[in-house]
Every structure is written in C-alpha cells, then in structure tokens.
C-alpha cells in the first residue's frame, strides 16, 4: 500500500458527509504538479473511497534555494 504524507479525516460527528477528505503530498525541490500526480498515480484515494464527498488533493513543494513554499489544490469528486 502506498504511503501518504498526510491524510486529514474530518470527524463525522462535527462535519457533514458532504465535506471532502484532504490528502496532502509534500515535495522538496520539485513542483506541486508532481505531488498531485503522485497522489493520483499511486491511487491514494482508493482506500478512502467511501469517506465523505470526494477529496481535496493538496501538493506542497518547498524550494531550498528560494526558501519558498508553493501549493496546488485539486478537487476530486466522489464517483
């Protein structure tokens, strides 16, 4: 099973089932598109397909030269 950097579960007693689960992939000196692509390619969402209403895929990259973070968010609707 693929290893996810970070998966946020929203407690069902405090959030509606219409809220998406959030999967975050962290990268170092790459780009946010690579992080999102990894989530999709390794099917990180498969195990959690019945949770909530789709997913927010979050790719975060840290550039060690510029000392800046970049972030991309992609909504993946529940099938």
- Number of independent structural domains in the chain: 1
- For residue 24, tell me if it sits in a domain: yes
Would you call 78 helix, strand, or coil by DSSP? coil
* 41 domain-assigned: yes
Q: What average pLDDT is seen over the chain?
A: 85
Q: Is residue 37 part of a domain?
A: yes
| Residue 1 domain-assigned (yes or no) | no
pTM metric for this prediction:
0.81
Q: Is residue 59 part of a domain?
A: yes
Instruction: Supply the range of the domain harboring residue 69.
Output: 6-76
| Domain presence at residue 20 | yes
**Residue 41 DSSP code:** H
pLDDT digits (tens, 9 = 90+) for 40-69: 999 988 888 877 788 999 999 999 999 999
């Amino acid at each position: 099973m693929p290893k996810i950097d970070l998966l946020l579960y929203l407690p069902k007693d405090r959030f509606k089932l219409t809220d998406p689960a959030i999967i975050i992939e962290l990268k170092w000196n790459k780009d946010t598109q690579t992080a999102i692509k990894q989530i999709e390619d390794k099917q990180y969402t498969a195990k959690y397909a019945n949770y909530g209403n789709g997913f927010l895929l979050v790719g975060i990259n840290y550039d060690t030269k510029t000392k800046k973070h970049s972030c991309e968010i992609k909504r993946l609707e529940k099938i």
